[in-house]
Amino acid sequence: MSKALNEGVDFSRTSGKSSGGRPKQKIFISIDGFKSLGMFSQTEQGKAIRNYFLECERIAKDVAVMKSQPQLPSEVCKKKLAAHHVKVEGIRQKIAATEKALANLRADLLIAVREQVAEAKAFTEAYSEVGEEYVRCTEVLTRAKALNPYLNNVTHKDSK
């Protein structure tokens, strides 16, 4: 047993009184000692024990690595969040600039529409005055023809 295990680490011995024959010895094996014995045995059960403890060590290493680097994912998240905030702020500024440009365009459009309406109103009033004047001229010509028979030979452009 002392070839595979270290005395004082993996096992310990105590001597007791014997009632004859050989002296009594008690051997206490630690958990690590049992682990070593199981892993050194060349049986299927020994192979299962080795695989079990190798898996336990792999899990323990993963946990140790995760505990030693708890800030790494946090720092990555903080950097991504900061970059996201910068991007959002840039988008907000673009939206504000677009809204301002849109407000300016609306104001310019309103001015242009008001000018067009004023021009259309002035044109309509002028056209209305021309139409009224035409009607008056036609009435004057009709009365003049009635009063003077010589004007009957005079024709107006529209009266053909």
Percent of the chain predicted with pLDDT > 70:
86
* The pLDDT value given to residue 111: 94
**DSSP-based three-state secondary structure for 45:** helix
What is the average pLDDT across 29-49?
Answer: 82
**DSSP-based three-state secondary structure for 29:** strand
pLDDT single digits (tens) 94-134 = 999 999 999 999 999 999 999 999 998 888 888 888 888 88
Say if residue 126 is exposed, middle or buried (CB neighbours under 10 Å; 0-12, 13-18, 19+): exposed
Residue identified by tokens 């959002």 is 88
Domains of the chain, by residue range, sit at 11-15+24-68
What is the average pLDDT across 128-145?
Answer: 83
Higher pLDDT pick, 111 / 45: 111
Q: What is the DSSP string of 85-100?
A: HHHHHHHHHHHHHHHH
pLDDT band for position 71 (cuts 50, 70, 90): low
d(CA 52, CA 86): 49
**DSSP-based three-state secondary structure for 118:** helix
**DSSP-based three-state secondary structure for 11:** strand
Residue identified by tokens 């998240």 is 77
pLDDT band for position 158 (cuts 50, 70, 90): low
Say if residue 85 is exposed, middle or buried (CB neighbours under 10 Å; 0-12, 13-18, 19+): exposed
* The pLDDT value given to residue 130: 81
Higher pLDDT pick, 158 / 52: 52
| Kind and range of the H or E run holding 78 | helix 71-147
d(CA 137, CA 139): 5
Strand partners, 15: 25
Answer whether residue 10 shows pLDDT above 70. Answer: yes
In this structure, the chain runs to a length of 160
* The pLDDT value given to residue 93: 93
